[in-house]
Amino acid sequence: MFKCFSRKSKVVEAEPPADIRDVFARYSGGGSNMTVDQFRLFLAEHQGEEGVAAAEDAERIVKEAMMQSKDTDRSSPSQGGGQIMEICLDEFFGFLLSSDLNGPIHCKVHHDMTAQLSHYFIYTGHNSYLTGNQLSSDCSDAPIIRALQRGVRVIELDLWPNSAKDDIHVLHGRTLTSPVTLIKCLKSIKEFAFVKSPYPVIITLEDHLTPELQAKVAEMVTEIFGDLLHYPGGEGLVEFPSPESLKNKIIISTKPPKEYLESKNSKDKGLISVLEKNTSNEEKDALLDYEYDYKSDGDQDCDESSSPNRKGPEYKRLITIQAGKPKGSLKDALRNADNKVKRLSLSEQELEKLAASHGTDLVRFTQKNILRIYPKGTRVTSTNYRPNIGWMHGAQMVAFNMQGYGKSLWMMQGMFRANGGCGYVKKPDFLMLRGPNKEVFDPKRTNVVRKTLMVKVFMGDGWSRDFSQTHFDTFSPPDFYTKLYIIGVPADAAKRKTRIIEDNWFPVWNEEFTFPLTVPELALLRIEVREYDRSDKDDFGGQTCLPISELRSGIRAVPLYDRKGEKYKSVKLLMQFQFV
């Protein structure tokens, strides 16, 4: 037992793996230090860096690497040039492990932002005001603020009259969720809209209001947002504006207030089975109303007491992205040749059905119009669905419950790490192009391998600093392994796993994996570290998800995140990415 405690308490610093030592020796000419010119050559040749050919760029990075060194005698090079600018092996290793200096993806906006909105995947929230489950959690502006701070660009608000019918509440209607006032949500959106990204925030409104309250919404929105609010003021657009033209602007998307006949279909009693046995009758009734409310999620009509000729023109004038229900079948709606661009909402089940039978019609529709996908009504615990089905078919707004967590949400977070995390990711050209016979990309068609990604997992670092020594195992160091997944079109799906490294806070795997890709533009690399447990479920040790189209070649520090997507302070993997 004492031996076990001794092993537990002994934590040493990570050392450079053999491959890293070899790279250092190769570019330092076998010396003990690497000069600025040698480092510049490493960045250009091994890392494939662009824009670092100039000696001053390499010198700047060397200075930063030296500043992070634990050797205080070397960490502050003199401004007079008396000290030789060189880095030793430990400083080189420190640079490689710095996700700030040597991260795995590009950290700046670099996509063309001048195309129309329908040419982008947009970071989209669902029921953005909910703090927890879909039935009984509190409604608040706090999750809206958190979403905006993470770069979410589409915020959904459900609007209902208050009990006195003289003000507007935001809540999930016909459930037990407690309301928050619309004015509080709008003020928070204004304050936090552009803290993460300067590109437009879209507010999707699910409207259950009388004409009088719609007029009050129009007054609130124009008064609170002022010059931040962009709206066309007309009868609809023939083409959406671009994210670049809408920088630092807020726009509204909802169904224009005209026809509204809201049918009172019978409620689906079958949903009671999704509730646990101890669910109260009050909660069961709320769930039934909740599913009824869900059937036209995002495109709801107004209160049945209204009449078309009383709709307020000011409210309609503020709508930039007009939403609507399909007239006739969904497949007919996708083929609608109307000149006006619009937004159509589909549930995840409707998407799956249409993807199976009319996939190319979905792609064709999204070349000009916006398609929004929302979670099915039985996801009462705010879980999510796999987003890649929507992306394969060009859906711009794949709406997620951002207050939840899980693998699907990790994928969403991974996709929108692309393009500097600005919340807008340019769709691949093949989703926007048409062939000579007007044919479009077919997600079901199997393509040839166009690129092969080679991934090497060198080692892991940081758990000893971010976790207690007994977090994983009480009497010994942890036993880590890494799992790698490719998520994208079905032909590219893959799963790999490293061996388990026993009793080590700094596991060194040095394992390489190869992933052939037919559609690399839509592929994500999902990484998850687990700690092996012989007697119970393996412990979670961190995760991340990275867009493969954004990966920087070479040896990179890959920061890991917790289950909810919060970045760990220290935990990371050292990996190498190569495309052949």
Kindly give the pairing relationship between strand 250-254 and strand 168-170.
unpaired
User: Tens digits of per-residue pLDDT, 324-333?
Assistant: 876 778 888 8
User: Tens digits of per-residue pLDDT, 162-174?
Assistant: 999 999 999 999 9
Q: Full-prediction pTM beyond 0.95? A: no
User: Tens digits of per-residue pLDDT, 319-377?
Assistant: 999 998 767 788 888 876 678 899 999 999 999 999 999 999 999 999 999 999 999 99
Give all strands of the β-sheet with 480-487 in edge-to-edge order: 494-497, 480-487, 524-531, 539-547, 554-561, 567-579, 451-461, 508-517
Residue spans of the domains in the chain: they are 12-96, 117-431, 451-579
Identify the band that residue 313 occupies on the pLDDT scale cut at 50, 70 and 90: confident
Residue 108, CB-side half-sphere exposure with 13 Å CA sphere? 1
pLDDT at position 6 is 40
pLDDT at position 1 is 36
pLDDT at position 30 is 95
pLDDT, mean over the chain: 88
End-to-end Cα separation, the chain, in angstroms: 50
Does 471 qualify as catalytic in the annotation?
Answer: no
Q: Of the ranges 71-85, 90-104, 455-469, 489-503, which one carries the lowest mean pLDDT score?
A: 71-85
Which residues partner with 328 through β-bridges?
none
pLDDT greater than 50 at residue 571: yes
What's the rounded mean pLDDT across residues 518-532?
Answer: 97
What's the rounded mean pLDDT across residues 48-66?
Answer: 79
Beta-carbon contacts of residue 252 (< 8 Å; ≥ 6 apart): 202, 203, 205, 221, 229, 231, 318, 319, 320, 321
What's the rounded mean pLDDT across residues 137-146?
Answer: 98
Q: Which of 106, 111, 119, 126 is catalytic?
A: 126
CATH annotation of 117-431: 3.20.20.190
Q: Which of 111, 172, 208, 230 is catalytic?
A: 172
- DSSP reduced 3-state for 426: strand
pLDDT greater than 50 at residue 309: no
Does 208 qualify as catalytic in the annotation?
Answer: no
Helices (DSSP H) in 115-271: which residue ranges?
Answer: 142-149, 182-192, 211-225
Convert 432-464 to b/e letters by CB count within 10 Å (16 or more is b): beeeeeeebbebeeeeeeebebebbbbbbbbbb
12-96 classified as CATH 1.10.238.10: yes
What's the rounded mean pLDDT across residues 217-222?
Answer: 97
Q: With contact defined as beta carbons under 8 Å apart, do 242 and 193 qualify?
A: no
pLDDT at position 305 is 41
Using CA atoms, how far apart are residues 477 and 479, in angstroms rounded to an integer? Answer: 7
**Cα–Cα distances in angstroms (integers) from residue 473 to residues 75, 100, 361, 476, in the given order:** 37, 30, 53, 6
| Cα 213–chain centre separation | 34
Amino acid, res. 99: S
pLDDT at position 394 is 98
pLDDT greater than 50 at residue 393: yes
Identify the band that residue 60 occupies on the pLDDT scale cut at 50, 70 and 90: confident
Q: Token pair 């509730």 is at which residue?
A: 275
- CATH homologous superfamily of domain 451-579? C2 domain (2.60.40.150)
Using CA atoms, how far apart are residues 423 and 223, in angstroms rounded to an integer? Answer: 26
